[in-house]
Each structure stands twice: as structure tokens, then as C-alpha cells.
Amino acid sequence: MTNYSIPDTLNTSPKKFYEQNRFVLFLWVLVTLIFVIDSWATHRFNNYLIFENTFRNLLHERSLYATYPAFHDDANHYGPIFSVLIAPFAFMPNSIGLLFWNLFNCFLLFKAIQTLPLSDDKKVIIGYIAIPCLIESMLNQQFNAGAAALIILSFTQLNKGNNIWTAFFIVLGTFIKLYGIVGLVFFFFVKNKPQFILWLIIWSAVILVVPMLFASPAFVLHSYLDWKASLIGKNEMNILGGGIDISIMGFFREILDQSGIPNLLFLSLGAVVFMLPFMRIGRFSKPKFQLLILASVLLFPVLFSTGAEDCTFIISIVGVGIWYIFENNRGMKKVLLPVLLVITCNFPLLLFPVFAKAHPLSLAIISLPYFLVWLRIIYNAAKGNVAYAADTSADLLTALSK
């Protein structure tokens, strides 16, 4: 995979403050702090308590996936290595730990976006587009921003020819949250494939063993079986009505009123569509093609996961941003992006929670505009329709200034 960067085609006149990445970072940190303060004021720490409690459970060899109603609602669904990742925050008082946990996720995703081989103007656009999803992620104290960062970093490290770190980010993302496994499709862009495979094996062994520094090997290995059971249980709960499936699979089940349609059917069709661009072998070395594949990779696991939540779309929104800067159909951009961002705000749940929970379609519709963007990405990548839309940044930044 060749190291590249898509140049900026805009003029070189001094940028206004809102056209700079430092201002986007300021907004991101402001959003993060607002919702940390909100959590402090409302004593809303539940999701963070689930996470930080996993480290103590690892130390005392208690189940990482059991419910602990005395400490928090719900249960953990991340892999055993996550209990080590959260350890530095678990040593802090909860209020301080939550602050640094959210800031960690905020900065990690922002930094990952900065590593994309795009001009600063394009990164600014992606940063603005991501804000509604960032709000959801910070509000829910989740790791999804970090999960998105790991997928992006696996791509950008490969862009730099660094197989060691590419393999690391793919394996770490997979062992924390299975979504990271989609990064394996970047294998098609790897030049030294045997070396890449070797590093995948090495990092898998290392990350498997790291939790064993804090607990017995038998407990850690059994925890992987517990993790599998917890994911299966969560999937069944979402499909059978105990939870709300807002994936594109859940949307079609709701709109067709066919809750029995199996995941396998959706996943099989989705995988076929996902792989269509890879028929264009001659385009594998093209920078814009590779970035569209990254966009598809960021959208696919959320769209086709019954465990997706509104806060999970922070993973997909960067893919939406990449689509936006490459899309040369201005009419589509002007319609689809605003609709997507409005639906992302999840107003039914925010304004009418009782109604929304009683009518799952009002929540599952969140996945529809993302699905349409994903199909457009697949079309553009498969057809080679990746002409750079040179006016993208100028259009959106001009709109932001009004």
C-alpha cells in the first residue's frame, strides 16, 4: 500500500478560525466536557461503572459478563482485554475517571481522523459531520469512538507501510469489540502479506495473554467463552424484542413486520454487496478507492449488527464524512447528509421516549440513511465513480459561516 495524501485543491488564502482543525478539536472537547458535567450533575455514571468494574472483576476473578445490580445496571459486552485497557481509569475516583475516559475517546478518534491521507480542509469537514454522533457517544460514555479510531488507524498505518501497527490495531479492535475484524479486508492492500499474517498471529497471542498478567490463564480463557455467550444472548434479546434492534436488519424486520427473518440472510446479502468493489483488482492501488473501502468498512459492521445502538454510529459517521468529500452528485449531498444528521439526533427517543420505545420503527429508521450512503459508496467504488468533488469543503464551510 503506497503512502499518499490527497492534495487540497482550494486556494491558499488565510483560513478563518472555523476552517481550522484546532477549532474542530475545541468543539469536540467542549461537547465532551458538557456531557461529563451533565453526568456529574445527574449522577449518571452507569455505563462507565460497567466498564471500570471489569478491571476489579478481572483482579478478583469474578465473571466479566455477569450483572452486578448493586453497582450498575446491564452488563459488560466487551472482550477480556478491555478490562486491562480501562485499568488506568478504574484507579481514579469515578467522577475524574469518567472525565478522562471520555476525553481519551474524544482525542483518540480526533487523532485518528488527523492521520487520514486527506487535506486539512477535508478533515475539518469530517470533524463537523461527526459532531451529532460524538454527542451521542459522549452522552453514553461508550468506547465506540475508540473502536472507530482503531479501525481508522489500522488503515492509516497500512498507508504508511507499517504492517506491525496495522496488525496491532486490527487485533486489538477485534479483541475488544468484534467490529474491528472488518479491518482484515485491508489485507487486499498489503504488499508483504506473509509478514502481515505473521504480525496478526503474534499480536493475537500477545493480546490473548495480557489479561493473564492480572488473573489466571484458566479464568481468562473461560472469560472468552463467557464473552461469546454474552454476545449471543444480547443478539437474541434484540431480535426477539427484549431490546431494540436499530441495525438495517432491524429496520427491514420492522417495516416488513417479519421478526423471524434470520440474521444469516441479511449478513449473506450484505457480504456479497460489501465485496462487489473488490472485483476491481486494478483499482486496489488507487488512493480514492482505498478511502472508499475504509468508508464502507466503517459503515458495514454497525449496519449489520443487532447490537448497534444510537451511540454506535460514531463508528459509521467518519465513513459518511469520507463519502461526502468524494461524492460528486451535489444534489444527493445536499439532501442525504442533512437527513442523516437530523435522524442521527434521535429526536423520537429524546422528545417522546415512551412512544419511541413502543414503536421500534421510529428508532430503527436511524440506520436507513446510513444504509443509503453505504450503497452509494459501494456503487462509487465498484463503478470507479470517485471523481474528487473539489467544491465540497468550500460549500460546507461557507454554509457553516452563515
Amino acid at site 179: Y
Residues 333 and 327: beta-carbon distance below 8 Å = yes
Q: Which of 318, 333, 329, 342 is nearest to 385 (CA)?
A: 329
> What is the C-alpha separation between 130 and 25, in angstroms, rounded?
12
* 8 part of a folded domain: no
Q: Is pLDDT at 400 greater than 70 in this prediction? A: no
Helix (H/G/I), strand (E/B), else coil: 124: helix
> What is the C-alpha separation between 263 and 283, in angstroms, rounded?
31
Bigger pLDDT: 44 vs 3: 44
For residue 63, give the C-alpha cell: 465473571
Residues 254 and 364: beta-carbon distance below 8 Å = yes
Q: Which of 359, 372, 373 is nearest to 246 (CA)?
A: 359
Q: Which of 54, 57, 139, 43 is nearest to 94 (CA)?
A: 43
Q: Is pLDDT at 261 greater than 90 in this prediction? A: no
Question: Per-residue pLDDT averaged across 148-166, rounded?
Answer: 93
Q: Which of 125, 98, 167 is nearest to 18 (CA)?
A: 125
Question: Per-residue pLDDT averaged across 124-133, rounded?
Answer: 96
Block residue for cell numbers 496488525: 167
Tell me the pLDDT band of 242, cut-offs 50, 70 and 90.
Answer: low
> What is the C-alpha separation between 221 and 217, in angstroms, rounded?
6
- For 193, other C-beta atoms within 10 Å of its C-beta total 11
Q: Is pLDDT at 320 greater than 60 in this prediction? A: yes
**Residue 10 DSSP label:** S
* 391 part of a folded domain: yes
User: Residue 241: what pLDDT?
Assistant: 58
Residues 130 and 317: beta-carbon distance below 8 Å = yes
Domain extent at residue 247: 17-401
Question: Per-residue pLDDT averaged across 122-151, rounded?
Answer: 95
For residue 282, give the C-alpha cell: 486494478
* 88 part of a folded domain: yes
Helix (H/G/I), strand (E/B), else coil: 44: coil
For residue 192, give the C-alpha cell: 508483504
> What is the C-alpha separation between 15 and 12, in angstroms, rounded?
8
* 1 part of a folded domain: no
User: Residue 284: what pLDDT?
Assistant: 87
* 3 part of a folded domain: no
Per-residue pLDDT reduced to its tens digit, 348-388: 666 667 776 777 788 888 999 999 999 999 999 998 655 44
User: Residue 258: what pLDDT?
Assistant: 84
Q: What percent of the chain has pLDDT over 70?
A: 89
User: Residue 236: what pLDDT?
Assistant: 78
| Residue 221, C-beta contacts closer than 8 angstroms, at least 6 positions apart | none
Per-residue pLDDT reduced to its tens digit, 205-231: 999 999 999 999 999 999 999 999 998
| Residue 207, C-beta contacts closer than 8 angstroms, at least 6 positions apart | 81, 171, 172, 175
Q: What percent of the chain has pLDDT over 90?
A: 68
Residues 156 and 117: beta-carbon distance below 8 Å = yes
* 10 part of a folded domain: no
Q: Which of 103-107, 261-265, 347-351 has the lowest mean pLDDT?
A: 347-351
pTM: 0.91
**Rg, C-alpha atoms of the chain:** 21
How confident is the prediction for the chain on average, in pLDDT? 88
Q: Which of 356, 354, 350, 366 is nearest to 310 (CA)?
A: 366
> What is the C-alpha separation between 345 and 338, in angstroms, rounded?
11
- How many domains does the chain divide into? 1
* 175 part of a folded domain: yes
Residues in the chain: 402
For residue 355, give the C-alpha cell: 412512544
* 248 part of a folded domain: yes
> What is the C-alpha separation between 115 and 123, in angstroms, rounded?
9
